[in-house]
Amino acid sequence: MDLTEIAERARFFARATSAAASDGLLLSMMKDAVRQFSKDVFGVPIVERLTVGASFDTTTSFGFNVSITGGTNALASTDVVIAARTAASGTTIASDLASALNTAIATGDLTASFTNFYFSIDSSATAVSTAITFNAPDAETYIDARDLLGLSGSLSGSSGVFTGTFPEDCTMRATLSGTPIAIKRVAWDKALLESAPRGFFVHPQAEGDPSHYYVEGSTIYLNPTPNDQKELYVGYKGIPSLSDMTSLASSTIPSEIPDQYHIALAYWMAAELLLGSFEDNLRAHRLASYQQIVTQYRVNQNNQNAAMEPMASPGRWWKYGG
């Protein structure tokens, strides 16, 4: 069923007009219905195959000391801080880095980039610099951010372009499109990972193929942090992404919910529309119809596991001592 059809069924079941139940209202309710259905069936099966991109958390207490030798961008030993960011991309941090350096230089025209997990600083726009050196900040009010950015010591470079090393912990997390309720399987390059407590992921300081994971909300954390790109497989039961549900006319229900269960969403929406309408009996009937489909879904899901006995089968009563 498409969203328009589900909306019309919901209006019909609730005896509501389009004036009382507008398209905008029903779209919002339909998202709530998907969330509620997913919770009531203890999560729909979802599989995601992810790549892990770099992300950075910075604050204005993070800094470093930098010296630039030669060219128009020469800079004597100076403490530099960058903007505060949360889960920012490498490209964003590179822009902040260039801005901070150029501000320190006063008339600087440096550029910075982030490519393949490495920051590079380019001084070749005018007169080329010959060396860039990063040290710990002189001021005790700053936390040393060199490892965070992979910028430490005298950077290697040529023709005025200087490149750092792999930034610490920059690949420790990835974002799932859905919201997990129960994690079933996590693998890195087909090797299974084990779950670990949250504290294991505060500051891993280890690079390589991950061996452990932790999930918080829609974020999965890895330890060690990967330093090359491989497939991150995450299988879980949860609430699917609703990002594609933007209009009744052009959107569809997430594919993780099979078509035969879409009518349940219409029953749930109708029950919500009937709330406070003094149609208590009708609302109870709509909720009962919704719950019947939820139960059917759960039975069908359980019966797919050949290692389990069917949860509802008259021919198996003796298995349960009846």
Give the integer Cα–Cα distance in Å for 242 and 237: 15
Residue 42 has pLDDT above 90, yes or no: yes
Under the banding of pLDDT at 50, 70 and 90, the label for residue 305 is: low
Task: Supply the DSSP symbol for 137.
Answer: -
Structure tokens at 321: 């001592």
Taking only the tens place, the pLDDT of each residue in 78-90 is 999 989 999 999 9
Sequence spans of domains, the chain: 3-46+240-303, 48-54+170-238, 56-163
Q: In degrees rounded to 5, what are phi and psi of residue 139? A: -70, 135
Q: In degrees rounded to 5, what are phi and psi of residue 215? A: -115, 130
**Other CB atoms within 10 Å distance of the CB of residue 186:** 22
| Section 200-209 average pLDDT | 86
**What is the structure's pLDDT at 320?**
40
**What is the structure's pLDDT at 313?**
45
| Section 122-145 average pLDDT | 89
Instruction: Name the residue with higher pLDDT: 192 or 200.
Output: 192
Under the banding of pLDDT at 50, 70 and 90, the label for residue 256 is: very high
Structure tokens at 43: 């999560």
Residue 318 has pLDDT above 70, yes or no: no
Nearest of 164, 137, 152, 153 to residue 61 by alpha carbon: 137
Name every residue whose Cβ is closer than 8 Å to that of residue 303 and which is 6 or more positions away in sequence. Answer: 310, 311
Give the integer Cα–Cα distance in Å for 169 and 179: 23
Structure tokens at 100: 């901070």
| Section 243-263 average pLDDT | 93
CA pseudo-torsion sign 220, 222, 227, 230: negative
Any idea which of 146-160, 219-233, 259-273, 289-303 has the lowest mean pLDDT?
146-160
Give the integer Cα–Cα distance in Å for 262 and 266: 7
Structure tokens at 90: 């490498």
Give the integer Cα–Cα distance in Å for 176 and 179: 7
Any idea which of 99-113, 177-191, 211-225 has the lowest mean pLDDT?
99-113
CA pseudo-torsion sign 227, 67, 139, 94: negative
Structure tokens at 198: 């949250």
Give the integer Cα–Cα distance in Å for 80 and 67: 10
Under the banding of pLDDT at 50, 70 and 90, the label for residue 314 is: very low
**Other CB atoms within 10 Å distance of the CB of residue 276:** 9
| Section 187-202 average pLDDT | 94
Sheet of strand 161-163: strand arrangement: 111-115, 118-122, 161-163, 156-158
Under the banding of pLDDT at 50, 70 and 90, the label for residue 24 is: very high
Give the integer Cα–Cα distance in Å for 139 and 311: 66
Which DSSP string corresponds to 220-277? EEEESBPSS---EEEEEEEEPP-TT---TTT----TTS-GGGHHHHHHHHHHHHTTTT
**What is the structure's pLDDT at 156?**
79
Nearest of 12, 3, 1 to residue 31 by alpha carbon: 3
Give the integer Cα–Cα distance in Å for 290 and 44: 16
Under the banding of pLDDT at 50, 70 and 90, the label for residue 295 is: very high
Under the banding of pLDDT at 50, 70 and 90, the label for residue 205 is: confident
| Section 39-66 average pLDDT | 94
